Each structure stands twice: as C-alpha cells, then as structure tokens.
Chains A and B, each alone.
Chain A
Amino acid sequence: MGFLDHTTNNIILDAVLTDGGRRALSRNDGSFSFVKFALGDDEVDYTTIQKFGRVVGKEKIEKNTPVFEALTNQNFGQKFRNISVSNPNLVRLPILSLTGEGLTDNIVSLGATTTKTATLTTTQTIQDEDSVDVELRDQGFEISLNNDFLQLQGQVPDLIDGTKVATYLVRRDSIETSVGGSRVTFTLEVRSISSSQFTVFGTSSNKNLIRTFIKVRGVQSGAVKEFEVQINKNN
C-alpha cells in the first residue's frame, strides 16, 4: 500500500515489480525498461456519483474507497485503465460487444472432440451517437486466454507468461461499423486436452467440463470484454 507524501505537491507511492518485471530483469537483455505508463481505477465504483451526486459522491469515493495492495501478477495488476481523449465533452463511450458461434449468455460452448472451434467477433458499439470518437477507435486488440486449453487459430501468441496465460495482439478487421467502431474476428480453437486434465481442471460437479475465461481489450479505447468458455469433453 502506498501513502501520500503531504510535504510535496507530488503524490508519492511505492511500486512493486510484477512477475513479468522480474522475468524481464532476469533476462538481462535490456528488456526491463519503463517506456510508458497507464493509470488505473480498479477499486472505484462510479455509480456512487449517480447515487449521491457529484459533490457527495466524489467525497465518498475519495474517503470511503479502500485501495487494494498492488498485485504482482501482471495479468491482474491493472484491470481498468483510464483513458486520454482530447475531447473533454464526450458523453458516451464505446463498449465491446461479443457475437459468434456457440455463444449463449456471454458463455461460449466448445468441445474437446467435434466442436473444437468457434469464430467470434468483438465489436465496438456505442448508443445514441453518430460516431465513435476517432481517438477511441481500436486499431488492435489484446486477447488473453489460458494457453493450456485454448489458442487462436492461425495466430502466434506475443507472450505466454508464467501462469500459462497467452496474450495475442490481433489487428482489427478492415471493415468498421456504421458509426466507425472497430471490430476483430478471431477463431478460438480447443487444444488437445487429456482425460487427466479434465479430471484435474474439470468443475467439481462435472469433471467432463472445463471452465476458462478470455479477456479482450481494445488497445486504444482500453475497453475490456471478458467472457467464459466452457469446454465439454464429450462434444
């Protein structure tokens, strides 16, 4: 937990290296280099502003929001990032929506034998606006998934971390939506999963079913879409 130093106008806080940072240090090849930063607000519930108004709501967030300690797992270190847009008068922001094969209630159903693939599309959508702000149109998407069970067909992961989470950086489709939103189409493919893996990683109520989660993040907008994938041993 970092603390504010009230003796200066700056806000002082301590940082911890993530597992990725330690790995970069150990490589000793110059890859440990801070090139950019991002701000995050994982703990903040902005609906407090709606409930209490801007003045009281702000005060409640500032004073009544305990901040978690920094996590060293780089996959969870910063979940929600703040966004810079030069236009200060935006009223709406785009979100990511998911469509595709085998999708029901934000859950994608796949099988280990026959239905091993599903093609999905993530699209930037915005309501009641004529267009998505140019600065928020994603040119690429980061897709993170469990490398033991899934892969993106025809793609090579940019990083596989120590927790076996593979991150793919995928370029957007050339086609955009009517409001200028980006979209990305990718095909999920189930890897070869052994019976013993189903025994270990299967749900406690059904050892023929593995649940895993995928995160898609727009590189420019920072918008995140998380969804569940269920892999059935017998399908």
Chain B
Amino acid sequence: MAVYKELTPNDITTARSFLNQLIDIVQQDISGTTTRKTYQPFVTGGVGPGVTSSLFQTVYDQDHTLASANAVMDLTVGLYFSGSTVQDIKTGEDSAGKLLFPSTSLMMREKIDIYRQHSLLLLGGVTSQFSAPFGSETTGDLINEAFFIDFKRLFARDGIKRETFAMKFYQTSSNNGVGPSSFVTGNLDKTSNHGSAVYTDAGAASNQEVSFGGKVSNIVDSSNTDRTVGLLFNDQGIVVLDMAKIISGSEFVSGVIDAMSPAPLANQNNVVAGQTLIGDQVAGGNPNAKFIPDFLTSASIDNIVDHLAGARFSSGTLSSIVFQNQTVINSSLVFCRATADEFNYSSNTTFIDSDTRIVVIDEGLEDVQQTFTFVTSVGLYDASNNLLAVAKLSRPVEKNPEKDVVFRIRLDY
C-alpha cells in the first residue's frame, strides 16, 4: 500500500516509568473555613434542636464553592473500640451488639466505625489496632485515638513516595486560661502559636514495610526520630496519627461544642440550645476537662476536626504538609521504520505544481535529481484506517531514497 505501512508485532513494545510531583499544602487551606467543606450526614433527634455533623471534612485548595477548586484531602478522627477512651465511658451493649454511651458523649459509635473502616482497609480486619511504630505490640505504641488524613487521588496519584512526607503541627493549644470569660472563646477555636513539631517519614526508605493496605512508613518527630507518632500508608495515601502523641492530651480544654442540650446555657449568652461548654467551671460542668479523653468523647467529629484543622496547623501562608506523589506511566513504544524506498513522495498539494509536476525536482535535472519529502507527523492506524494516535515532530525531518529513518513513538497511559 502506498500510503500506509503495516506494523509487525516486533515493532511494538511496552515500557514503564515513574513521575513524581511535589505536593505542597499551605496552612490557610487547612485552617480556613471556606476551603474546608463540611457535610451533614449525622443528625441527632430528641433533645433540643439536635446536632448535625460531618463524618469527615474535605480540604480544598481554594474556596470549595468555586467550580475550579480541587479537593486535596479528607480529615476525620476515630477511636479504637477496646481503647481506654471508649471503654471508660461505655455504659453497656444491647442484645444486638450496639454499644451504649451516656448522653454527655457524642458520635461515639461513628468515631469507632471510622477507626474500624480504616483498620479494615489498611490492616486487614475491623478489630485490628494501629500502632506506631508499625507492628509494635507495646501498650504505649498502640493507637487508641487516631487522626486520619486521607489524601485525594488527584494529589496522591498512584501513591506517596517514601521519605518525602512532612507536616508541621502544633502540639500545644493556644490558651490554657481559666475563668468564665475564657470558657466561651476557650482554646478550641484559637490558633496555636507555640509547641510546633515537624512530623516526617524520615527513615522510611531504609525500612520498607508492607501491610494489608500496601506500603507503610512510620511517621516520626523530626526532633527526635525515636519518637514515632503515626503511620503513612503510601499506596493508599492515608496518614494515621496517634492523637495521644501529636497533641498534649492532658491539656485543659475549654470552648463551645455541640451537644444534646434543649436550652441556652445559663449565664453564657453565646451558648445556645444545641450547644454546651466544655471545661465549664460555672454551670456545673467538668472544670478539669482534657483534650483526651473529654474532648474526644464529648465533641462531634466536626468539633474535633474544626479544632485540629483550624487551630493546630496554624493559619499562615507557609507550607503545612508536603510530600511527593508517584504516578506510574505505562508506555507503548511503536517503532515506525521508513526504509529507503518508502514515503519519498507526498500528497501535499504544494508537492506538485498546476501541471502535476513534482516541484522538488528541478526541470532539466530529472535524470540526476531524486524526489524527497519532509516528515512532520506520524499517524498510527487500525485495520480500518481509523487514526488512533498521532505524533508530531518538533521540526521537519527529510526523507529521501538514500535515507532509512526510524520514528520511535511513545504513547503514555
């Protein structure tokens, strides 16, 4: 055939390569209320106006109401069923196996379910418990209260490259003040400004472990790499942090949280029905409330994520989380060989003049000059002459009867 040349199986081969992208998530994207999207799948009934909450919140790279915003990651928290935070507050279990909790707690079953969901995906069973370092059975290493960061596929791609992850996090809350005036504002919604730490997966490249959820790396405190604070599941793009290690859990907590309360709190104008004060010293609350366990059991998931995202990542324009993702590129290599006697004429309308004479051969020199063409594109066709792929050269390449040319077409998937 004069226009097409058949390809043989030997002309087509495959190759595999990797592409890394640096992902940089700034503090204000995590802390901002417009860049963080909440949902309302959890709704209580009964007492008061009820409580609505997300099961997770999504961080976007700009105002999430804009069509051009990209979802970066989901944030949520989970509690381990057998951990002390759950066991110490649990009041019982009904005949169907449903756990029972006092009305002062909120979303306990949902927090446990979030943990179980991640355990099933990453550890292979709903009752499995995360531990940092990975696989440790030491009691102090077991994660009872987990902070989950689930990166979206758009940013995690085919996985997070080992030893590229780092995040800056504030371990200490902003305000430890006591007294009625501090209860309303509290330390829940104030940005932390001291006690920062950098958590990283340093050492992950030389200690490559694998779990049911694929590759897993330990996340350590960069100032003391012997202190492991969480896990990074590289293939899944999920970070599991031990809240008992990344925040000062015994710190006093105060502020407004959602609650099953039918009426505004006495003497506290800002606390309306459906809310309550944690760390309350006036209205008969718990004056010694701590982040762990009190805040984690009393607050909704929205309250907890609002605090972690809004206060613990700071709110500036600095990098808060960075990592490199990895994209696997599978390529087809097609070798298109034009031998010396092929493709030396053209159907280009400028190749012949109005008398159908080939213009690249000078008149009178037909006996010494031969035709030539230039190639700017290579088209790949199926058996029915449908153009499936097209490749362009960066500049025209001459083809003449003395030249054998091989075009290597790389098609990435």
Contact = CB atoms under 8 A, between A and B. Distances in A.
Interface of A: 1-4, 9-18, 20-21, 24, 31-47, 49-50, 53-54, 58, 61-63, 65, 67-72, 74, 77-78, 80-86, 88-95, 125-129, 135-136, 142, 158-159, 169, 219-224
B190 to A, nearest CB: 52
Contacts of B393: 2, 4, 11, 13, 67
A39 to B, nearest CB: 5
B382 A33 contact: yes
A201 B398 CA distance: 42
B376 interface: yes
Given A33-B383, A90-B371, A83 B3 contact: yes
Contacts of A72: 390
A219 B4 CA distance: 9
Contacts of B360: 46, 49, 54
The A contact surface, by secondary structure, is loop
Interface stretch (B284-292, B314-322, B400-408): B400-408
B91 interface: no
Interface in B148-199: none
Contact of A84 (B2, B370, B372, B376): B2
Contacts of B377: 39-42, 67, 70, 77-78
A8 to B, nearest CB: 8
A41 B375 contact: yes
Nearest to B367: A89
Nearest to A40: B377
Contact of B344 (A46, A63, A80, A85): A85
11 contacts: A11-B408, A20-B388, A32-B388, A34-B12, A35-B382, A38-B381, A39-B399, A70-B391, A74-B387, A82-B3, A83-B347
A222 B376 contact: no
A91 B394 contact: no
Contact of A2 (B332, B388, B394): B394
Given A40-B378, A54-B360, A81-B347, A11 B386 contact: no
Nearest to B407: A11
A83 B346 contact: yes
Interface stretch (B18-26, B47-55, B213-221, B348-356): B348-356
Nearest to A74: B387
Contact of B388 (A34, A62, A93): A34
A89 B370 contact: yes
Given A38-B381, A83-B3, A49 B334 contact: no
B1 interface: yes
Interface string B297-338: 000000000000000000000000000000000001011101
A63 B391 contact: no
B385 interface: yes
B389 A34 contact: yes
A168 B309 CA distance: 61
Interface of B: 1-7, 12, 332, 334-336, 338, 341-353, 355-362, 366, 369-399, 401, 405-412
From B375, B383, B396, name the one whose CB has the most chain A CB atoms within 10 angstroms: B396
Given A65-B395, A83-B345, A127 B411 contact: no
Given A81-B347, A135-B2, A24 B382 contact: yes
Contact of A10 (B332, B359, B406): B406
Nearest to B365: A54
Contacts of A67: 376-377, 392-396
The B contact surface, by secondary structure, is strand
A43 B349 contact: no
A37 B396 contact: no
A102 B412 CA distance: 48
B345 A82 contact: yes
A95 B3 CA distance: 15
A32 B355 CA distance: 41
B330 to A, nearest CB: 13
B346 A20 contact: no
Nearest to A47: B350
B381 A37 contact: yes
Contact of A82 (B350, B359, B382, B399): B399
Contact of B408 (A12, A88, A125): A12
Nearest to A65: B396
Contacts of A88: 341, 344, 370-371, 401
Contacts of B350: 44-47
B347 A224 contact: yes
Nearest to B360: A49
- 6 closest cross-chain pairs (CB), A and B: A21-B388, A15-B391, A222-B347, A82-B343, A40-B377, A80-B348
A49 B359 contact: yes
B2 A222 contact: yes
Given A33-B382, A36-B380, A89-B366, 9 more contacts: A10-B407, A12-B408, A13-B410, A21-B380, A31-B382, A38-B4, A40-B378, A44-B374, A84-B345
A20 B407 contact: no
Contacts of A224: 347, 349
From B4, B350, B376, name the one whose CB has the most chain A CB atoms within 10 angstroms: B376
A53 B361 CA distance: 10
Contacts of A38: 3-5, 378-379, 381
A20 B389 CA distance: 8
Given A40-B378, A83-B345, A90-B345, A46 B1 contact: no
A43 B376 contact: yes
A150 to B, nearest CB: 21
